[in-house]
Amino acid sequence: MNYELLQQLIGYLAAYESQRSPSQRKDMEGFVAYLNQQVFEKSVDPTVGFENGETVEALLSQLIAFLYRYAKGYIKKALNHSNLITIDDFSYLAGIWQTGGCSKSEIIDMNIHEKTTGMEVIKRLLNNQLIEQTDDLIDRRSKRLLITEKGKGVLFGTFEEMRKASLIIAGTLSEIEKMQLLYLLQKLHFFHKPLFLNEREKSLDELLDFTDHTNPNAEFYR
């Protein structure tokens, strides 16, 4: 047994527990998050990726935008031979199928879209007879969107090509790295979604009030 490694692990555990207040949760998930950050900070080359005073936040935003463009290109190839034009067509159709039917506002919010953009996607799917709309049994003023048999055929026919695209998008990340990235991206998603749904009219200065800049890891270790 590598006792030196075990001693290092015990040291990290002691540091983790000493930094938690009695009211803060202490569990394996929190410790793993803490350990990951401590080890990652020591392994990162401080000279990589930063130019002309560029900040971590600016580079992070840029790389997320780049990743979206890469993914968009691969997904376009996956949808080449289907009746779906964009990734939005696919995600709306998949969302309506997975929920068993939903309202227009629900599928638009699910896909983090403005209303006008979402209505364009819905209109395209309706025109192609991939979905249909019926009266809501609870709220007669609303319409429920349902996937048609034609829509199911189109959707299911894209799964294999979309699977290939997703494998390419994940690149050479190991299984552990995929889970780490998934955890961090979900954390960002859970932060941004309520802002988008409820606070989108606020200014950037007002939105910044939702972020704890004095302790950016406050939620990470809770």
Cα–Cα distance measured from residue 125 to residue 151, given in angstroms and rounded to the nearest whole number: 9
**For the segment 12-64, what is each residue's pLDDT rounded down to a tens digit?**
888 888 887 766 666 776 777 777 777 666 555 555 555 666 788 899 999 99
Q: What are the tokens at 77?
A: 């190839």
Exposure pattern of 62-86 as b/e (b: 16+ CB <10 Å)?
Answer: eeeeeeeeeeeebbeebbeebbbee
Q: What are the tokens at 164?
A: 């290939």
pLDDT score at 221: 37
Q: What are the tokens at 195?
A: 């802002």
pTM of the model as a whole: 0.72
The DSSP call for residue 200 is: T
pLDDT score at 49: 56
Q: What are the tokens at 63?
A: 């790389």
Name 125's Cβ contacts closer than 8 Å, sequence gap at least 6: 89, 92, 93, 131, 151
Cα–Cα distance measured from residue 189 to residue 197, given in angstroms and rounded to the nearest whole number: 12
Give the CA distances from residue 46 to residues 57, 64, 167, 169, in Å, rounded to whole numbers and listed in that order: 15, 20, 30, 26
**For the segment 125-174, what is each residue's pLDDT rounded down to a tens digit?**
999 999 999 987 777 777 899 999 999 999 999 999 999 999 999 999 99
Instruction: Confirm if 117 and 133 have CB atoms less than 8 A apart.
Output: no
* Weakest-pLDDT range from 84-98, 110-124, 203-217: 203-217
Instruction: Confirm if 130 and 147 have CB atoms less than 8 A apart.
Output: yes
* Topology of the domain covering 64-169: Arc Repressor Mutant, subunit A (1.10.10)
Average pLDDT for residues 67-81, to the nearest whole number?
95
Q: Is the predicted pLDDT of residue 219 greater than 50, yes or no?
A: no
What is residue 178's three-state secondary structure?
A: helix
